[in-house]
Amino acid sequence: MSKVKIVLDADVIIHFAKGDCLSLLPKIFSEYEYVVLRPVYDEIRKPIKEQLDRQIHFLKNITVVEFSPHPDMIKEYALLVNRCGKGESACMAYCKFNKDVIGSSNVIDITTYCEENKITYLTTYDFLYYAIFRKKMTIEEARSFVTNVVSQDSKLPVHIDIGIYVSRVIV
């Protein structure tokens, strides 16, 4: 049985890079393999891509995977790409057929599809919650992360203080 993968969409990678925590991301759920599908990788621009490349080559805790869909996955991808971006469509189609987890904060685009297809997804705030819960990050570090990400013109799926978010989430 192969290890479950967390298939990262560009937005989560961008958030963690802008929050100066990209190297922390794969440590949050170290029991999983972290992958980036080629269409997602191709969407990422410099300097984030350079940061991701360094992590892939030196830390080797994230892997770029070719998106080589079988016929059913191609059909699913074609349906999804009509309403979502190429990267998130590839992630959803891939996870539907491989029973993996999506790391994406595009909740408007993915939530209904993931729930209908029983695909687990994690947003940036979910990763932060578990980083705090697993003692990889403090609440203050998470607040600083959110401030850094938002100050660099990135949008997060939740507009709530991470301390309040953590206190409301049931484990």
Domain limits, the chain:
5-123
Sign of the Cα torsion 80, 81, 84, 89 reads: positive
115-164 pLDDT, tens digit per residue, is 999 999 999 999 999 999 999 999 999 999 999 999 999 988 777 888 88
b or e along 15-24 (b: 16 or more beta carbons within 10 Å of the residue's beta carbon)? bbbbbebbbb
pTM of this structure: 0.94
Sign of the Cα torsion 32, 34, 167, 134 reads: positive
Sign of the Cα torsion 159, 163, 166, 168 reads: negative
90-121 pLDDT, tens digit per residue, is 999 999 999 999 999 999 999 999 999 999 99
Q: Are 162 and 146 in contact (CB under 8 A)?
A: yes
Question: Cα 28 from chain centroid?
Answer: 12
28-69 pLDDT, tens digit per residue, is 999 999 999 999 999 999 999 999 999 999 999 999 999 999
Domain over 5-123 is classified CATH 3.40.50.1010 = yes
**Tokens 């013109």 sit at which residue?**
153
Q: Single out the residue of 5, 6, 4 nearest to residue 123, CA to CA.
A: 6
**Tokens 């560009």 sit at which residue?**
10
Strand partners of residue 7: 35, 102
The band of 165, judged by pLDDT with boundaries at 50, 70 and 90, is confident
- In this structure, what token pair is assigned to residue 154? 């990135």
How many other C-beta atoms lie within 10 A of the C-beta of residue 150? 15
Give the model's pLDDT for residue 1: 56
